């Protein structure tokens, strides 16, 4: 186990290096620059700005400077757009907020999505199955850029039950709407995946044997069917988890939560090179970490799996 994790950690370094290098090259291949957007400053100012951010140097030199600062000083550099703040400060300020919303969403996705999926599988092609799945699917059908403004209008403006947006020091009533907007479509997907894979497991011969032995349905479900049925769900949850804690640009914009999700998009539109690289490295590291965790969970769910 420890050896596996250490090996993964070791491979993570070249993986991240490739990610940074390719992203760096791709960003510079994109037309436009951080100071060419709305109002272009006078040439002299632009020259100074470019010099300050090393943009006047050759791209390979810039890459070298960035990697030196990153590796030697763990410095993600200054933001191009928010000129008084460093990328580290921006991430430190916004990531915890998205992580809190994401963790809560993840919690609800698991305690709602998996049980209703399994229930629908047990009642396959009965009215319970159809109604649960239709209910879950309505979460996918309403895209969150429709759902989020609708929630604000209904629960904040019309009914006045919940605050319309903002962070509010992380009080739970400020988090309810963002969590709802984040979690609904994931719940539906987890429910459908659990249902499909549970149906498949329930029709396999060892489950028939267990039933033939006269074991009660609950034991058959939890002891025998649960683990193999969860395999694809766990894979999906690992991917979803990274997506959840790195936030969503729509949730951040509609609810003004100040999360990190908005930086993935706004950073790109502003050509804020260092900010985008910062959030990309964060997302990459998280993605590598959680894929490794999922791989470890596989061995727990199916002991025959060896790496």
Partner 1 sequence: MTTQDQVLPDSVKGRSLWDDAFRRFKANRAAMISLIVLVFVAAFAIFGNYLTQWDYETVDWFALEDVEFYGKPAMTHPNEYAAEIGTAPHYFGTDSDGRDLLARLVQGSRISLMVGLMGALVAVVIGTIYGAVSGYMGGKVDSLMMRAVEILMSFPFMFLVIVLMAIFGRNVLLIFIAIGAVSWLDMARIVRGQTLSLKNKEFVEAAIAQGVRTPVIIMRHIVPNVLGVVVVYATLLVPQMILFESFISFLGLGVSEPQTSWGALISAGADSMRITPWQLIFPLLALTITLFCFNFVGDGLRDALDPKNKK
Q: Is 288 in the site for partner 1 (CB under 8 A)?
A: yes
Binding segment for partner 1 (CB under 8 A), chosen from 33-41, 90-98, 188-196, 216-224, is 188-196
Tell me whether residue 63 or residue 298 sits nearer to partner 1 (CB atom). Answer: 298
Selected binder of partner 1 within 6, 9, 26, 51 (CB under 8 A) = 26
CA distance 275 to 124: 48
The site for partner 1, by CB under 8 A, has a size of 68
Q: Is 236 in the site for partner 1 (CB under 8 A)?
A: yes
Give me the least distance between CB of 254 and partner 1, in Å please: 11
Q: Is 36 in the site for partner 1 (CB under 8 A)?
A: no
Binding segment for partner 1 (CB under 8 A), chosen from 42-50, 102-110, 215-223, 233-241, is 233-241
Q: Is 63 in the site for partner 1 (CB under 8 A)?
A: no
- Cβ-Cβ contacts under 8 Å for 80 (sequence gap 6 or more): 34, 35, 53, 270, 271, 272, 273, 274, 275
**Ranges of H-type helices in 43-108:** 43-52, 59-73, 87-108
Specify whether the CB–CB gap between 252 and 259 falls below 8 A: yes
Binding segment for partner 1 (CB under 8 A), chosen from 14-22, 60-68, 75-83, 89-97, is 14-22
CA distance 37 to 257: 26
Q: Is 189 in the site for partner 1 (CB under 8 A)?
A: yes
Specify whether the CB–CB gap between 265 and 222 falls below 8 A: no
CA distance 61 to 27: 15
CA distance 92 to 90: 5
**Interaction pattern, residues 127-166, with partner 1; x per rule: CB under 8 A:** ---x--xx--xx-xxxx-xx--xx--x-------------
Q: Is 304 in the site for partner 1 (CB under 8 A)?
A: yes
Selected binder of partner 1 within 99, 215, 283, 296 (CB under 8 A) = 283
- Cβ-Cβ contacts under 8 Å for 13 (sequence gap 6 or more): none
How many residues in total does the chain contain? Answer: 307
* DSSP labels, 166-227: S-GGG-HHHHHHHHHHHHHHHHHHHHHHHHHHHHHHHTSHHHHHHHHTT--HHHIIIIIIHH
Q: Is 23 in the site for partner 1 (CB under 8 A)?
A: yes
Q: Is 234 in the site for partner 1 (CB under 8 A)?
A: yes
Contacts to partner 1 from residues 87-126, by CB under 8 A = 125
CA distance 286 to 280: 10
- List interacting residues with partner 1 (CB under 8 A): 11, 15, 18-19, 22-23, 26-27, 29-31, 125, 130, 133-134, 137-138, 140-143, 145-146, 149-150, 153, 189, 192-193, 195-197, 199-200, 203-205, 228, 231-232, 234-236, 238-239, 242, 250, 264-265, 267-269, 276-277, 280, 283-284, 286-288, 291, 294, 298, 301-302, 304-305, 307
């Amino acid at each position: 186990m420890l050896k596996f994790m250490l090996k993964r950690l070791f491979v993570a370094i070249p993986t991240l290096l490739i990610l940074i290098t390719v992203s760096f090259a791709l960003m510079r291949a994109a037309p436009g620059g951080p100071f060419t957007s709305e109002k272009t400053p006078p040439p002299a100012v632009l020259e100074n700005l470019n010099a300050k951010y090393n943009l006047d140097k050759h791209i390979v030199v810039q890459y070298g400077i960035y990697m030196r600062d990153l590796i030697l000083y763990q410095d993600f550099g200054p933001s191009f757009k928010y000129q008084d703040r460093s990328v580290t400060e921006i991430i430190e300020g916004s990531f915890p907020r998205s992580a809190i919303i994401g963790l809560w969403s993840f919690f609800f996705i698991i305690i709602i999505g998996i049980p209703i999926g399994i229930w629908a599988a047990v009642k396959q092609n009965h009215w319970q199955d159809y109604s649960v799945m239709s209910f879950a699917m309505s979460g996918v059908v309403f895209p969150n850029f429709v759902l989020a403004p609708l929630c604000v209008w209904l629960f904040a403006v019309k009914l006045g039950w919940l605050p319309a947006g903002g962070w509010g020091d992380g009080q739970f009533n400020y988090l309810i709407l963002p969590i709802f907007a984040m979690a609904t479509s994931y719940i539906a997907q987890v429910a459908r995946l659990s249902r499909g894979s549970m149906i498949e497991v329930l029709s396999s011969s060892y489950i028939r044997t267990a039933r033939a032995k006269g074991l009660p349905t609950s034991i058959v479900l939890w002891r025998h069917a649960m683990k193999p049925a969860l395999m694809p769900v766990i894979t999906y949850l690992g991917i979803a988890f990274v997506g959840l804690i790195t936030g969503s640009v729509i949730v951040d914009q509609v609810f003004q939560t100040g999360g990190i999700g908005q930086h993935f998009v706004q950073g790109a539109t502003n050509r804020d090179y260092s900010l985008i690289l910062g959030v990309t490295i964060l997302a990459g590291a998280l993605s590598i970490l959680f894929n490794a965790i999922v791989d470890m969970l596989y061995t727990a769910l199916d002991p025959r799996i060896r790496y």
